[in-house]
């Protein structure tokens, strides 16, 4: 295992633990802007964006990471239905549980059963989606898209 990747992951995990991002009640309080809003996680989110901004700008100018591995950015910057659907599913899940993938992984250290159940469910959903995508990719193009039925021409009734 790459020591730099391990140390980065450990630092991220400690950050989300110390910031309270692994506490579903705190996250739900932050997401509840219409009720008793807890703005304390706003500092965490703003800090994450500020810290990541410069490295992302530098990475976009390179084809390889500092350790020599290729950098893979998305091919498109357009807003697609898949992006909107994925964002909606993520937001609904985050709003219902107060957990998202990174903090969910870090919360396993708390040894609370609900966090383990959420994490297992999340991994099952991700794995199911991956299997579905692989199966869809194996289908010939003609089978993967249903032909549309032609609409009957509009005619005026006498």
- Structure-model confidence comparison of residues 69 and 116, the more confident one: 116
pLDDT of residue 156: 52
Question: Mean pLDDT over residues 103-120, rounded?
Answer: 87
pLDDT band at 147 (very low <50, low <70, confident <90, very high): very low
CA angle 119, 125, 131 (to 5 degrees): 135
- Tell me how crowded residue 27 is: count the other CB atoms within 10 A of its CB: 21
User: CA 11 to CA 51: how far, in whole Å?
Assistant: 13
Long-range contacts of residues 114-119, Cβ cutoff 8 Å, at least 24 apart: 115/22
Give the per-residue pLDDT at 157.
53
Tens digits of residue pLDDT in 2-37 = 788 888 888 888 888 888 888 888 889 988 888 888
Is the pLDDT at 152 greater than 60? The verdict is no
State pLDDT tens for residues 47-106: 889 988 998 898 888 888 877 888 888 777 888 888 899 899 888 988 888 888 888 888
For residues 115 and 108, the answer to whether their CB atoms sit within 8 Å is yes
The answer to whether 52 and 32 are in contact (CB under 8 A) is no
Tell me the whole-structure pTM to 2 decimals: 0.64
């Amino acid at each position: 295992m790459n020591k730099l990747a391990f140390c980065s992951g450990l630092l991220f995990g400690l950050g989300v633990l110390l910031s309270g991002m692994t506490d579903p009640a705190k996250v739900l309080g932050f997401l509840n802007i219409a009720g008793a809003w807890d703005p304390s996680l706003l500092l965490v989110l703003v800090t994450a964006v500020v810290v990541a901004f410069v490295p992302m700008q530098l990475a976009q100018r390179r084809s390889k990471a500092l350790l020599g591995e290729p950098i893979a950015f998305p091919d498109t910057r357009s807003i697609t239905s898949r992006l909107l659907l994925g964002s909606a599913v993520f937001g609904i899940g985050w709003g219902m549980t107060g957990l998202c993938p990174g903090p969910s992984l870090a919360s396993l250290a708390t040894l609370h059963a609900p966090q383990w159940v959420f994490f297992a469910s999340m991994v099952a959903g991700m794995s199911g989606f991956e299997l579905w995508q692989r199966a869809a990719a194996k289908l010939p193009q003609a089978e993967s898209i249903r032909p549309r039925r032609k609409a009957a021409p509009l005619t005026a009734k006498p």
